[in-house]
Every structure is written in C-alpha cells, then in structure tokens.
Amino acid sequence: MLDDDEEQIPIVTDKEITQQERINTLIQKGGSIATLTTLTRGGIFRVHGTLHRKQVPIMIDSVATLNFINSFLVTSKGLHVVEHKGFEVKVVGGNLLPCTQVIPWLQISMGNYTLIDDFFVIDLVDTNIILGI
C-alpha cells in the first residue's frame, strides 16, 4: 500500500505507446532510485530461470523497485539495449550505481512461468538478475 506522499507509477495498457514513453513511465524524474538498500533474509529468495535457453540465477527482492540485469550478462549474451536519460541506483552500503540502459520486453522463464518485462542494466555484484516487486 502506498503512503499519501508516494507517487504511484501508472500502468500503461495502450499498445500504441512508444518504447521511450514506457521507459520514461518507469524512471522517476531526477534524483536517485533507492533500491537494494535494506536487504533482509525475509525479503529475498533465489530461483533458477532461463534466459535465451541458458540457466541463470535470479534473485527476487521485495525491496527492489525495478527489474535489473547484470551488465556483464547483457554483453556476454549480446542483448539489445536502449539508452535512456539515466538515474542512479542506491545499493547496499550506500553506493550509487549509474543506469543509462534498459532492455525492453526481455523474456525470462522460471519453471512454467514466463516473464516479459523491462530490465535496467547495472553492474550487479553476486547476481545476474534481480526481479523487483
């Protein structure tokens, strides 16, 4: 549930929306996106998924505000990225990681479930993919 002072990101269902409009909807204007800062055992679990027919570890994080993918994985798989205005991601320890790329509509499978969503590219440590809630 959102507090009165929190802004809800609108869900866009119009198929005519451009890729850039979708990205802009997900990115907060200015500042940093605080995420991955208060990791607790209860808010994280790990699963195995499939990306381009290869098994990858996935961390599902109830604190993360968006989906993220490791820049090394993106490069090694040759995934198509789209540049965007950029923002910073605050991680455990208070470090800020720059994020200026996104992979729109990336398909990842976990068992019988297939997720198609946008994944923001950052230099993750110790994991390849983070699913935000």
- Report if pTM > 0.85: no
26: nearest Cα among 122, 129, 118, 133: 118
CA distance 49 to 58: 6
More confident residue, 9 or 75: 75
Q: Is the pLDDT of residue 2 over 90?
A: no
Model confidence band, residue 79 (pLDDT cutoffs 50, 70, 90): very high
Model confidence band, residue 101 (pLDDT cutoffs 50, 70, 90): very high
CATH code for residues 32-132: 2.40.70.10
Q: Is the pLDDT of residue 14 over 50?
A: no
Predicted confidence at residue 11, as pLDDT, reads: 41
